[in-house]
């Protein structure tokens, strides 16, 4: 018997799409004094969207028109087990008001770390940092001067997340150079992701880790805390299910189209991509033969966004002309 308390959560952006609404739990409630994203318990025989609409109307006086599921999160507190069903609200009416005398606030996503959230909300916060376009480096760099000069071009282009295809090394030179890159990334509000599973992740200046498919399948549980972004490369249903088990923040699903790097590998196409994505409950990026012009089509087929390697050339060229 499933004893988890099902809680629906809504991510509400302001009109400029640069802030999200958070509320403070009132005294007498479980985790009183903590900040959270608005929502509440799902009633018996109530679907998630109906529960979300009811909670926002009762608590905030907001009418939800359209929304889509962002992620589902299982979390075990000592007192109770919960399943957070998190939705991204696209269209809404009204002026958010504290109808239940709760404190409310609009916060920049980057400032959410300054608020005291329940442990289960850390996964949501990390997921909110994910943009539509995910950049992947074109080289597995070994020359640090070249690495720095080329990677900084990505940081200056307007991108918000960047995966450096560089495996971890346990030496001070490596850590020093990654720290230098991370400082540049922070200046431009970019999340820096590396490949691999370090045993001492706290000693590296990074925002998250991306697992290759082979590494993904070897893991029995999430390899580090929710304080870091966790992503994984997937190519089929089995790998996507393993990614779900590890509670990843996102996954790549590839290849969608024919690629120059793997011309003999059969692409899955958009129809198969859509079928696979409909079976998971976390953000999935389309990867493989993808360009900027595919973003709309990717979203129409259920993708959270697109990830690009060679396709980033056109993005960087466009950024340089601005």
Size of the chain in residues = 322
Domains of the chain plus CATH, in order, are: 5-124 (3.90.79.10), 133-321 (3.20.20.70)
In sequence order, what are the residues at sequence separation of 6 or more whose Cβ sits closer than 8 angstroms to the Cβ of residue 194?
163, 164, 166, 167, 168, 178, 204, 206, 208, 209, 210
Sheet holding 103-107, edge to edge: 35-36, 20-24, 103-107
Residue 48 structure tokens: 């998630």
Instruction: Encode pLDDT of 266-309 as tens digits.
Output: 899 999 999 999 999 899 999 999 999 999 999 999 999 999 98
For residue range 278-287, what is the model confidence (pLDDT) as tens digits? Answer: 999 899 999 9
Give the whole-number percent of the chain exceeding pLDDT 70.
93
- For residues 248 and 227, the answer to whether their CB atoms sit within 8 Å is no
Report pLDDT for 312: 65
Alpha carbons 21 and 200: distance in angstroms, whole number: 35
- In three-state secondary structure terms, 159 is coil
What pLDDT score was predicted for residue 197? 83
Find tokens 């999430």 and name the residue. 222
Do residues 42 and 48 make contact, with C-beta atoms less than 8 angstroms apart? Answer: yes
Query: Among all chains, which residue has been given the structure tokens 């360009």?
Result: 291
| 99 phi/psi in degrees, rounded to 5 | -70, -15
This prediction has a pTM of 0.86
Question: What token pair was written down for 266?
Answer: 């059969």
Instruction: Flag whether pLDDT at 317 surpasses 80.
Output: no
Could you tell me what percent of the chain has a pLDDT over 90?
Answer: 64
Instruction: Name residue, tokens 């950024």.
Output: 319
Beta-sheet strands, E only, within 33-138: 35-36, 39-41, 63-76, 81-93, 103-107, 133-136
H-helix or E-strand spanning residue 313: helix 312-321
Q: By the 8 A CB rule, do 118 and 34 touch? A: yes
Sign of the four-CA dihedral 61, 49, 299, 107: positive
Q: What is the pLDDT of residue 322?
A: 41
């Amino acid at each position: 018997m499933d004893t988890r308390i099902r809680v629906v959560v809504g991510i509400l952006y302001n009109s400029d799409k640069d802030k999200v609404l958070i509320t403070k739990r009132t005294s007498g409630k479980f985790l009183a004094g903590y900040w959270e994203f608005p929502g509440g318990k799902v009633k018996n025989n109530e679907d998630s969207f109906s529960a979300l609409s009811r909670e926002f109307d009762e608590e905030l006086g907001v009418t939800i028109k359209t929304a889509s599921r962002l992620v589902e999160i299982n979390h075990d507190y000592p007192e109770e087990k919960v399943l957070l069903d998190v939705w991204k609200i696209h269209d809404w009416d009204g002026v958010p008001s504290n109808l239940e005398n709760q404190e409310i606030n609009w916060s920049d996503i980057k400032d959410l770390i300054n608020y005291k959230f329940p442990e289960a909300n850390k996964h949501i916060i990390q997921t909110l940092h994910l943009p539509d376009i995910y950049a992947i480096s074109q080289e597995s760099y070994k020359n640090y001067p070249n690495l720095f000069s080329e990677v900084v071009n990505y940081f200056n282009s307007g991108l918000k997340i960047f995966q450096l295809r560089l495996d971890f090394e346990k030496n001070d030179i490596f850590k020093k150079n990654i720290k230098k890159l991370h400082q540049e990334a922070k200046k431009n509000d970019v999340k820096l992701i590396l490949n691999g599973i370090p045993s001492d992740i706290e000693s590296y200046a990074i925002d998250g880790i991306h697992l290759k498919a082979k590494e993904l399948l070897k893991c029995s549980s999430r390899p580090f805390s929710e304080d870091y972004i966790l992503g994984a490369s997937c190519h089929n249903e089995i790998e996507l299910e393993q990614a779900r088990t590890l509670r990843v923040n996102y996954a790549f699903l590839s290849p969608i189209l024919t690629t120059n790097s793997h011309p003999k590998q059969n692409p899955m196409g958009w129809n198969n991509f859509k079928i696979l994505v409909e079976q998971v409950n976390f953000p999935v990026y389309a990867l493989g033969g993808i360009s900027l012009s595919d973003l709309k089509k990717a979203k129409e087929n259920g993708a959270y966004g697109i990830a690009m390697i060679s396709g980033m050339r056109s993005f960087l060229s466009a950024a340089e002309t601005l």
